[in-house]
Amino acid sequence: MKIIVLSLLSIFFLLTSCQNTTEKEVVISKESISKPTIKKEVKPATFTEQAKSTLTNTSAPNPGEITQKQPLTAYIKKKMTEGIWHYETAIIVGKPEMQKAYKGKWIQFNPDNTILSGFYEEEGHAGTWVYDEGKDILTVLEGGERPNYTQWKLQFSSNSDDLVIWIGTKRFQNNNTQIKMLRGVTKPKK
């Protein structure tokens, strides 16, 4: 019952966060879509490579933006860095086919603001993370061939330290995405 209530609340928060688009932002989006671009498409060799390319966001932050400005409290360090977080369920408004790209994805946060992330049993890619405790905002840089920047508003469960809802923000255009994260002790298995 608690999971159903959390899921319904998560969907509500996702839908309300996606309604904050202004008319100006819509016009800019239409203009950028209509501009012709030449892009050579390279097809990924494996499912994992295809999923990584689907999740990659090309918006890069300003230099030095992905740094922890204030030291993390012991509480947040423990809450974030114990275990491996599994992307349990993804909801992507307007792009339900992309939800499959999160299947088997995991992330491990380290106390020194580094991460490892990957799919299923693979080793994963290094990256960094920053957490603003005052705003409950998590910014993640996943490394690899195509670095991926994402930012999330976190909603921790009041009933379990092993459940958190990530709600995408506008910063890296993932505000149509919401993810239910579950803590595990090992990487997910196929």
pLDDT per position as a tens digit, 100-140: 999 999 999 999 999 999 999 998 889 999 999 999 999 99
- The CA-atom distances, in angstroms, between 25 and each of 34, 60, 172 are 14, 19, 14
Fold of 2-34+48-184: Lipocalin (2.40.128)
pLDDT digits (tens, 9 = 90+) for 21-47: 443 333 334 443 444 445 445 444 444
The Cα–Cα gap between 186 and 80 comes to 15
Average pLDDT, the chain: 77
Map out the domains of the chain as residue ranges.
2-34+48-184
Q: Please indicate, yes or no, whether the overall pTM of this predicted structure exceeds 0.85.
A: no
- Give the angle 117-153-161 at the CA atoms, nearest 5°: 70
